Structure 1
Amino acid sequence: MSIRLPSVDGGFRLHSPTVAPLAPLSCGPAHSRAFHAAAHVVADPLSASADSEPVIDWETTLAFRHRLWAQGLGVAEAMDTAQRGMGLDWPGAAELIRRSAAEARSVGGRIVCGAGTDQLAADTVHPLAAVTAAYEEQLAHVEACGAGAVLMASRALAAAARGPEDYLEVYGGLLRQSARPVVLHWLGPMFDPALEGYWGHEDLDEATDVFLKIVSGFPEKVEGIKVSLLNAGREVDIRRRLPAGVRCYTGDDYHYPELIAGDGELSSDALLGIFDPIAPIAARAALSLDQGDPTGFRELLDPTVALSRHLFAPPTRYYKTGVVLLAWLAGYQEHFAMVGGLHSARSLPHLSSAYEMADDLGLFPDPELAEARMRQLLSLYGVES
């Protein structure tokens, strides 16, 4: 039986659901690269409301992380995929970090957690001292929970900084006092427009120089960097200029197969939001690399790029909507609702294409369930499927 899906041109097309989903996979962590999935959070739709604090369904949220660990993937917790700054506030993120870090210890799962400054009021330009103190609070919390920290790009710092010297001052102070090496995250404005001109420059060459100056000043305190610029050439250049021993984690959801595969000399590790919905394929691709099969790696991962580019299409910051849709269709949660009402951020044709592409990749363990839920969504929008 076919399902009738709306197209962006206002018409419809027929899609025949797959009958061959990927088989379940359970394996240990990859060893040729570090593979981390930035994971989404599951809202509690019976408790949340527009004027209340975000309410998370903890049981389902943590169960999804266990699913990632069981497939050999690490978890990047409380990052932008978890709606940091777009529905998830710092108290919610702090609790998420505490719970996820404890669950990771219970199964030996890999985890890193985002530390930022989002406890600061967004409508105020804060002094640098306040920005630094906010970072320090979150860094201390992550480290107290026993997890590695990802120092996330800060809207508050972007608003307060007068130039590159302020970035050098803030990050230098944080790195001097960190208890363990951290990951530095450069999140581009396509993910968050408030981060335009980060590192004190709008010019990418000049911004890159400042970023690398921070890294090279504290190589023993920087475990790695995460580059989320959707610019493969820029990442390759940065990767080539890193001090020895500092990892480059790709955050490029457009070019990740080639960046992870590498150029024969250098390669990127992965810390990606797209690994949330394509985890079964990412885990298989990691196994191929571990087995010395780069061709098999690309054969598995290359076909996922079309879905990723669709989910991360502009406005890129709304990619989380498609990620949560696919988790619902896959049966990993019982509803398609998001904290902050973000489930309404993408159009029905966009969501329909996401369903179709994910189904063609075999990402739904129960294709009949996914089809039935997609029909429910279409019906909600008044589409007779």
Structure 2
Amino acid sequence: MIRLPDEHGELRPYEPGRARSAGHGPGPAPRSRAVFAAAHVVADPYRTAADAAAAVDWDATLAFRRHLWAHGLAVAEAMDTAQRGMGLDWPGAAELIRRSAAEAKSCGGRIAAGVGTDQLITPARSLAAVTAAYTEQLAVAEDCGAQPVLMASRALTALARGPEDYLETYGQLLRQCAGPVILHWLGPMFDPELTGYWGSTDLDTATETLLAVITAHPGKVDGVKVSLLDAHREIELRRRLPDGVRCYTGDDFHYPELIEGDEQGFSHALLGIFDPLAPVAAEAVRILDTGDTKEFRSLLEPTVELSRHLFRTPTRFYKTGVVFLAWLYGHQSHFTMIGGLQSARSLPHLARAYELADRLGLFPDPDLAAFRMASLLAVHGVSQ
């Protein structure tokens, strides 16, 4: 029995449960859906944040990627889950991409890598500078054999005068890409500096610009990751994508129904929540491969409450909960993040995340998770 704090400052008793996810072991990649987990990085608690690359515990970080591959998931590397723009700078991200891509080759894992413009520390003065920054990062990903994900750019958002600037910039990038890439529409709930992406705050207008980019470059876009937390809008976009272009859901609120789909199609997945949910998520989609939608939903739908909790406003701090759960699971020896981001969520928020994950039976060692939760509470003055 441990006492957990709630958001009202009260302590209440909680009886930890037992592991119920032991059956969700390693397995092959799902066949009917492409499923990426956007993976977090493990910080080195003994290093300062002055050098982001040096502040990463590479052994633990790569071990976690092997965990994802073992369960049949693909890895989406150096995305916002890995603290891009929130602690991990471009040199650190480039090193992460190189190391993870080499690890993927050694174990046969699939990998995609985030390509952006975050090396532009000062505001870019021209679209040419934005394109050049994208091009530099694109070369790193392609040279490593990772599929590029063209991430939304803060620099482009700040400079663009309208849809035509997005059409020009993405046009130049897609013409030079060696193979099909994944485009990324990250909503302002994940990053307020991306408000008005695709040239308009009107989402209908923005959608038309995105579709124009895709249709103007046939064969160059594998798919679009949609992170707007709006299931209806994602479905509407999905139905309008050209043949052969995938919709990758980035909706951490509605992923079960979006992945299952309807009579007109379905979404593939590229999700931050699949970092902590890897064993269950992979098993659920393998069951979906058989056509058993009822069992698929019975496995995945109960996890939505945890996901909505981790991604609650301010959504961009969901990474704290993801790393917290990785610590409770035993994937890393500490709860420390690059740039001190472990402090971004409150103790009651973390306690609720622990409770929800424990009730789902996600912890492979519930006793370890309870001990670590109690240890964190003790640091904050909560005696048991």
What is the TM-score normalised by the length of structure 1? 0.98
CA deviation vs aligned residue, 1:289-336 (integer Å, no higher than 9, x gap): 112211111000000000000000000000000000000001000000
Structure 1: gaps of 5 or more residues: none
CA deviation vs aligned residue, 1:35-57 (integer Å, no higher than 9, x gap): 110000000010124x4445100
Q: In the TM superposition, what is the alpha-carbon distance from 1:193 to its structure 2 partner? A: 0.2
Secondary structure of the corresponding residue to residue 227 of structure 1: strand
Determine the structure 2 residue equivalent to 1:325: 324
Q: In the TM superposition, what is the alpha-carbon distance from 1:191 to its structure 2 partner? A: 0.2
* Aligned alpha-carbon RMSD (Å): 0.9
Alignment of 1:10-159 (within 5 A): 10-23=9-22, 25-49=25-49, 51-53=50-52, 55-121=55-121, 123-159=122-158
Please give the alpha-carbon distance, in whole angstroms, between the structure 2 residues aligned to 1:348 and 1:239.
Answer: 38
Please give the alpha-carbon distance, in whole angstroms, between the structure 2 residues aligned to 1:14 and 1:288.
Answer: 36
CA deviation vs aligned residue, 1:339-362 (integer Å, no higher than 9, x gap): 011000000000000000011111
Determine the structure 2 residue equivalent to 1:6: 5
What is the TM-score normalised by the length of structure 2? 0.98
Please give the alpha-carbon distance, in whole angstroms, between the structure 2 residues aligned to 1:81 and 1:53.
Answer: 15
**Is the Cα contact below 8 Å between 1:172 and 1:214 reproduced in 2?**
yes
One-letter amino acid matched to 2:226: V
Please give the alpha-carbon distance, in whole angstroms, between the structure 2 residues aligned to 1:363 and 1:114.
Answer: 28
Please give the alpha-carbon distance, in whole angstroms, between the structure 2 residues aligned to 1:286 and 1:183.
Answer: 21
**Is the Cα contact below 8 Å between 1:40 and 1:83 reproduced in 2?**
yes
One-letter amino acid matched to 2:199: G
Instruction: Give identity over the alignment, percent.
Output: 66
**Is the Cα contact below 8 Å between 2:124 and 2:130 reproduced in 1?**
no
Secondary structure of the corresponding residue to residue 9 of structure 1: coil
One-letter amino acid matched to 2:245: V
Please give the alpha-carbon distance, in whole angstroms, between the structure 2 residues aligned to 1:57 and 1:264.
Answer: 45
**Is the Cα contact below 8 Å between 1:90 and 1:118 reproduced in 2?**
yes
Determine the structure 2 residue equivalent to 1:307: 306
Determine the structure 1 residue equivalent to 2:213: 214
One-letter amino acid matched to 1:57: D
**Is the Cα contact below 8 Å between 1:126 and 1:156 reproduced in 2?**
no
Alignment of 1:327-366 (within 5 A): 327-366=326-365
Q: In the TM superposition, what is the alpha-carbon distance from 1:15 to its structure 2 partner? A: 1.5
Determine the structure 2 residue equivalent to 1:167: 166
**Is the Cα contact below 8 Å between 1:21 and 1:367 reproduced in 2?**
no
Secondary structure of the corresponding residue to residue 135 of structure 2: helix
When residues 53 and 191 of structure 1 are mapped into structure 2, their CA distance, relative to the original with a 3 A threshold, is same
Structure 2: gaps of 5 or more residues: none
Secondary structure of the corresponding residue to residue 178 of structure 2: coil
Is 2:249 the counterpart of 1:250? yes
CA deviation vs aligned residue, 1:101-135 (integer Å, no higher than 9, x gap): 111111111110000000001x4243110000000
**Is the Cα contact below 8 Å between 2:138 and 2:148 reproduced in 1?**
yes
Secondary structure of the corresponding residue to residue 112 of structure 1: strand
Secondary structure of the corresponding residue to residue 219 of structure 1: coil
Secondary structure of the corresponding residue to residue 186 of structure 1: strand
Moved more, 285-294 or 331-340: 285-294
Q: In the TM superposition, what is the alpha-carbon distance from 1:248 to its structure 2 partner? A: 0.3
Q: In the TM superposition, what is the alpha-carbon distance from 1:216 to its structure 2 partner? A: 1.1
Secondary structure of the corresponding residue to residue 313 of structure 1: coil
CA deviation vs aligned residue, 1:243-289 (integer Å, no higher than 9, x gap): 00000000000000000000122000000000000111101101111
Determine the structure 2 residue equivalent to 1:196: 195
Secondary structure of the corresponding residue to residue 355 of structure 2: helix
Secondary structure of the corresponding residue to residue 220 of structure 1: coil
CA deviation vs aligned residue, 1:7-66 (integer Å, no higher than 9, x gap): 0011122221112331150111111101110000000010124x4445100000000000
Determine the structure 1 residue equivalent to 2:177: 178
